[in-house]
A and B are shown apart, each in its own frame.
Chain A
Amino acid sequence: MSSSKQALAHPASSAEAASGTSPGAARGARGRGAPAAPDSWRSRLYRWDMKASPYAFVAPFFILFGAFSLVPLLYTAWYSLHDVQLSALDHQTWAGLDNYKNLLSSDFFWNALKNTLSIGVISTVPQLLAALALAHLLNYKLRGSTMWRVVMLTPYATSVAAATLVFTLLYSWDGGMVNWVLHFFGVDPVNWRESDWGSQFAVSSIVIWRWTGYNALIYLAAMQAIPADLYESAAIDGANRWQQFRHVTIPQLRPTILFTVVVSTIGATQLFGEPLLFGGVSGSKGGSEHQYQTLGLYMYDQGWIIGNLGKASAIAWSMFLILLIIAAVNLLLTRRLRKSQ
């Protein structure tokens, strides 16, 4: 780079950064550091520092992030086009789209996709509705408001593994807490592990338990950012509390709700730990009839239990494509909402 180019670049950038102060005057007064003597090594160093340091600051992040997130993403695509077996890692042969064709004709893949969708819906919808209600309550003036918030967040501190171990015991068929409580209401013991809807409900309940408080805090933050005058004018118009919630709070929260829907959907698409541990010894199958085998579980099963890493890569990329479709739909919805407003 030529020095004249640098000399041109420098005053521009420093003037931008110094908006408000008067850099020239300050420099003159202190007489140090700045390009008063353009050719001294010190000012050259200074200019070089100005130019290079931003890159130096973002470099560790991008090198690590690239090496362990972006590059693997592409390699996964590459492996999905190969035959890669866990038992013979050195023999990777080109397979074209075979892995994908294999998936599309596999009942287990469609079953896993269907389970991921249904568990996704029964875990996300109640969770976000409950979070919205909880946030509304937490938004009142409360005694010990911080304590309430921390308590609602404790399930989030519990790991997937710990939570699932406990819930599995609570849901056990014989002598489990859930069935015991249900018998007081005249309900016969439910076989939570074997039944289709029972097992999916049980797995979903773990997700709901862990994430409701977290989402409630996100809604609460957004609720507190709603300008008070909106409520005042609604009250003047004679709106009662429910109408205020319906016509002020919900519309104002719309972007946040959309955001949590997206995040929860992404979480639901990769659901893995809960069904794995809920299944116990043969967890990666997702139950004797694969009744709660999700895509995440199917990928782990194919890759590390069956040992077909090429197919596992293809499943991973299918998950990614599904997420891209969800993101695109979301973008369209957001645009629509904006236009209608």
Chain B
Amino acid sequence: MTTTELTLPREAGRRRGRGRMGAGKQLHAGPLTYVVLTVFALVSLAPLVWTAVAASRTDRRLAQTPPPLWFGGNLFKNLQAAWDQAGLGTAMLNSVIVAGTITVSTVLFSTLAGFAFAKLRFRFSGVLLLLTIGTMMIPPQLAVVPLYLWMSDLGWSNQLQTVILPSLVTAFGTFFMRQYLVQALPTELIEAARVDGASSLRIVWHVVFPAARPAMAVLGLLTFVFAWNDFLWPIIALTQQNPTVQVALNSLGTGYVPDQAVIMAGALLGTLPLLVAFLLFGKQIVGGIMQGAIKG
């Protein structure tokens, strides 16, 4: 990793602050900028809007030329069909359980480990941190064969713990929390609490968690998005009998329900929770990705 990526956010913020003031760089955008940005925005949103258009039509209409450009009257019928026939109802509940559990566990354990790496001295901490960073990019393909064999040994096929257990922590989460806490948590505060005789556990509860809260929230959002959209392992481990949203969508794509309008309704339903999350917390998610970028 290089210097820019490892620049501490506080430093970067300060620099940016200075930059924004007197710089000739932060020019106001001209009309052309807005035009080009609008094109980008349309490309980003059009497929999603069209999903809703297609979900409000019929299978027959979708096979005709020209394709429909405006909403029809079948949206609720198709949503109902996706919910019932494609098992989207069960799938949504399962995905909430899976992504929720993974999010809570990742945030909790990443904060603990990140705090230890950021502020505590212990043997092998350097090596362990390097191991964490170095393994951040191992593709999921390298784990699925043994996981599959173990889970079938345990007789857990089609049960939710098969997709929860392997995702309970991420190397990214630990590194993310470590980078945040290095600068956000004053060492003096920990020492003062120690002097007062606080145990490490009390320090975590009363000092570390409050200081880490903004980063925990951001990590939670990013983890939830990631867990909700996780694809490879869930489609190997689960079937349409007990699916997550992505497994149900995969079944739709492979002809489980042949009606294109219902398939689009399923895609819309499966994306809706995250779209709502983006509407509510978009600013925080954007901030989190940008923070993560500066930190590495």
Residues of A within 8 A of B (CB): 13-14, 16-21, 23, 26-27, 30, 32-34, 46, 49-51, 53-58, 60-62, 64-65, 68-73, 75-76, 79, 84, 89, 134, 137-143, 146, 148-170, 174-177, 180, 209, 213-214, 217-218, 220-222, 224-228, 231-232, 235, 244, 252, 255-256, 258-259, 262-263, 266, 269-270, 272-273, 276-277, 280-281, 283, 296, 299-300, 303-304, 309, 312-313, 315-317, 319-320, 323, 334
Q: In the complex, which of the residues A34, A57, A138, A163 contacts B47, with contact meaning CB atoms closer than 8 Å?
A: A163
Q: In the complex, which of the residues B12, B51, B120, B171 contacts A57, with contact meaning CB atoms closer than 8 Å?
A: B120
List of B residues within 8 angstroms of A256 by Cβ: 4-5, 293
Q: Are A232 and B286 in contact (CB under 8 A)?
A: no
List of A residues within 8 angstroms of B43 by Cβ: 209
Q: A17 CA to B200 CA in the complex, in Å?
A: 14
List of B residues within 8 angstroms of A180 by Cβ: 65-67
Q: How far is the CB of B2 from chain A (nearest CB, A)?
A: 4
A320 to B, closest residue via Cβ: B142
Q: Pick from A49, A60, A134, A169 the residue with the most CB of B within 10 Å.
A: A169
List of B residues within 8 angstroms of A30 by Cβ: 195-197
Q: How far is the CB of A272 from chain B (nearest CB, A)?
A: 6
List of A residues within 8 angstroms of B24 by Cβ: 228, 231-232, 235
The 8 closest A-B pairs by CB, nearest first: A33-B197, A150-B282, A228-B23, A53-B200, A228-B19, A161-B249, A75-B146, A54-B122
Residues of B within 8 A of A (CB): 1-5, 7, 12, 15-16, 18-29, 33-34, 36-37, 40-41, 43-45, 47-48, 50-51, 54, 62-67, 109-110, 112-113, 115-117, 119-122, 125, 128, 132, 135, 137-149, 152, 165-169, 171, 174, 187-188, 190-192, 194-201, 204, 225, 228-229, 231-232, 236, 245-246, 249-250, 252-255, 260, 263-264, 266-268, 270-271, 274-275, 277-278, 282-283, 285-286, 289-291, 293-294, 296
8 extra A-B contacts, CB within 8 A, seeds A79-B145, A168-B253, A309-B145: A17-B190, A69-B138, A140-B33, A154-B48, A159-B245, A222-B294, A228-B25, A323-B137
B267 to A, closest residue via Cβ: A162
Whether A161 contacts B67 in the complex (CB less than 8 A), given A73-B142, A252-B4, comes out as no
Q: Are A152 and B15 in contact (CB under 8 A)?
A: no
Q: In the complex, which of the residues A68, A75, A175 contacts B62, with contact meaning CB atoms closer than 8 Å?
A: A175
- A-B contacts, 22 of them at CB < 8 A, read A32-B197, A54-B122, A60-B169, A61-B109, A64-B109, A73-B138, A79-B149, A149-B286, A152-B44, A161-B246, A162-B51, A165-B267, A166-B51, A166-B267, A170-B50, A175-B62, A218-B289, A222-B293, A225-B4, A255-B2, A270-B141, A283-B254
Q: A320 CA to B89 CA in the complex, in Å?
A: 37
List of B residues within 8 angstroms of A137 by Cβ: 29, 33, 36-37, 40
A75 to B, closest residue via Cβ: B146
Q: Are A281 and B254 in contact (CB under 8 A)?
A: yes
Q: Are B40 and A23 in contact (CB under 8 A)?
A: no
Q: In the complex, which of the residues A17, A18, A60, A153 contacts B278, with contact meaning CB atoms closer than 8 Å?
A: A153
Q: How far is the CB of A271 from chain B (nearest CB, A)?
A: 10
Q: In the complex, which of the residues B1, B149, B255 contacts A309, with contact meaning CB atoms closer than 8 Å?
A: B149
Q: Are A23 and B138 in contact (CB under 8 A)?
A: no
Q: How far is the CB of B46 from chain A (nearest CB, A)?
A: 9
List of A residues within 8 angstroms of B29 by Cβ: 137, 140-143
Q: Are A221 and B22 in contact (CB under 8 A)?
A: no
Q: Pick from A138, A158, A170, A217 the residue with the most CB of B within 10 Å.
A: A158
Q: In the complex, which of the residues A17, A21, A158 contacts B48, with contact meaning CB atoms closer than 8 Å?
A: A158
Q: How far is the CB of B154 from chain A (nearest CB, A)?
A: 12
Q: Are B231 and A160 in contact (CB under 8 A)?
A: yes
Q: Are A225 and B137 in contact (CB under 8 A)?
A: no
List of B residues within 8 angstroms of A170 by Cβ: 47, 50
List of A residues within 8 angstroms of B25 by Cβ: 139, 228, 231, 244
Q: A79 CA to B41 CA in the complex, in Å?
A: 47
Q: Are A316 and B148 in contact (CB under 8 A)?
A: no
Q: A21 CA to B263 CA in the complex, in Å?
A: 64
Q: A138 CA to B144 CA in the complex, in Å?
A: 39
Q: A134 CA to B43 CA in the complex, in Å?
A: 12
Whether A259 contacts B5 in the complex (CB less than 8 A), given A159-B245, A224-B16, A280-B255, comes out as yes
List of B residues within 8 angstroms of A169 by Cβ: 54, 62, 260, 263-264
List of B residues within 8 angstroms of A166 by Cβ: 47-48, 50-51, 54, 264, 267
Q: Are A146 and B282 in contact (CB under 8 A)?
A: yes
Whether A176 contacts B138 in the complex (CB less than 8 A), given A23-B195, A54-B125, comes out as no
Q: Are B65 and A175 in contact (CB under 8 A)?
A: yes
Q: A237 CA to B289 CA in the complex, in Å?
A: 35
Q: Are B267 and A154 in contact (CB under 8 A)?
A: no
Q: In the complex, which of the residues A56, A158, A316 contacts B142, with contact meaning CB atoms closer than 8 Å?
A: A316
List of B residues within 8 angstroms of A57 by Cβ: 112-113, 115-116, 120, 200, 204
Q: How far is the CB of A103 from chain B (nearest CB, A)?
A: 14
B168 to A, closest residue via Cβ: A64
B69 to A, closest residue via Cβ: A177
List of A residues within 8 angstroms of B140 by Cβ: 270
List of B residues within 8 angstroms of A270 by Cβ: 139-141
Q: In the complex, which of the residues A50, A60, A163 contacts B113, with contact meaning CB atoms closer than 8 Å?
A: A60
Q: Are A334 and B2 in contact (CB under 8 A)?
A: yes
List of B residues within 8 angstroms of A164 by Cβ: 253
List of B residues within 8 angstroms of A304 by Cβ: 236
